[in-house]
Structure 1
Amino acid sequence: MLSTDTDVLKAAEDWRRAGKGVALATVIETWGSAPRAIGSHLIIDEDANFLGSVSGGCVEGSVITEALDVIADGRPRVLEFGVADETAWRVGLSCGGRIKIYVERVE
């Protein structure tokens, strides 16, 4: 079991060395009751395998989908998740907080 973000980053390095396309998602901002702290990581490979967490599970599926696009086109993205009336039917944080996640391809 991976116990630290250092372990997750080491796994990302191992996946790249094995020739896989890899993206790194990092929590860059939080507001209110956020499930994970700034600096938390999720890594995703081109086959949608992943390790780590940026939200305790509530938005990981959406982050993985975006990460696959980042791996494919190389363009980083900033994703924002939270709870608001206009986003009630989309993926969000049930805890009531908001988070920003930076997703980049690992070169």
Structure 2
Amino acid sequence: MNTSDDILSTAAAWMAEGRKVALATVVSTWGSSPRPVGSQMAVDAAGAMAGSVSGGCIEGAVVMEAQKTLQDGEPRMLSFGVTDEMAWEVGLACGGKVQVYVEAVE
């Protein structure tokens, strides 16, 4: 598993290459959650990613939202939970809730 320092180092290296980068951070959880608060994932405009915010179950949706953030510059607060219809679509049937904050880094 990547540490937060590894993820931030990867993001910095991508930025040094001229790539646009967004950072997704787990900011709250409730119940069963695959990753703890503070878990991070870096995403570039092409969809490359480093780190993890969910163990895979919602990461595709987070990558898509991160790419939108890179396009419009607007940060996003994403919420996933078993009562959310989208949670079933992305595979978050673990019984918990997770909120992920996505922001572009410069």
Q: TM-score range by the shorter chain?
A: over 0.9
Q: Is the 8 A contact 1:83 1:92 kept in 2?
A: no
TM-score w.r.t. the length of structure 1 is 0.92
| RMSD, aligned α-carbons | 1.4
Distance change >3 Å, CA 73–CA 46, structure 1 → 2? same
Q: Is the 8 A contact 1:21 1:71 kept in 2?
A: yes
**Corresponding residue of 1:4:** 3
Q: Is the 8 A contact 2:82 2:88 kept in 1?
A: no
Q: Which amino acid aligns with 1:30?
A: T
**Corresponding residue of 1:45:** 44
Matched positions, count: 105
- For residue 3 of structure 1, report the CA deviation from its aligned partner: 3.0
Q: State how far apart, in whole Å, the 1-side matches of 2:104 and 2:27 are.
A: 16
**1:56 matched to 2:82:** no
Q: State how far apart, in whole Å, the 2-side matches of 1:23 and 1:7 are.
A: 15
- For residue 89 of structure 1, report the CA deviation from its aligned partner: 4.8
Q: State how far apart, in whole Å, the 1-side matches of 2:68 and 2:77 are.
A: 13
Q: State how far apart, in whole Å, the 1-side matches of 2:88 and 2:63 are.
A: 19
Q: Could you give the per-residue CA deviations for residues 28-87 of structure 1, whole angstroms, max 9, x where no partner exists?
A: 000001110000001100110001100000000000000000011110000000101x51
**Corresponding residue of 2:20:** 21
Q: Which runs of 5+ in 1 are unaligned?
A: none
Q: Which runs of 5+ in 2 are unaligned?
A: none
Fraction of identical pairs, as percent: 51
Q: Is the 8 A contact 1:82 1:92 kept in 2?
A: no
Q: Secondary structure at the match of 2:77?
A: strand
Q: State how far apart, in whole Å, the 1-side matches of 2:4 and 2:94 are.
A: 23
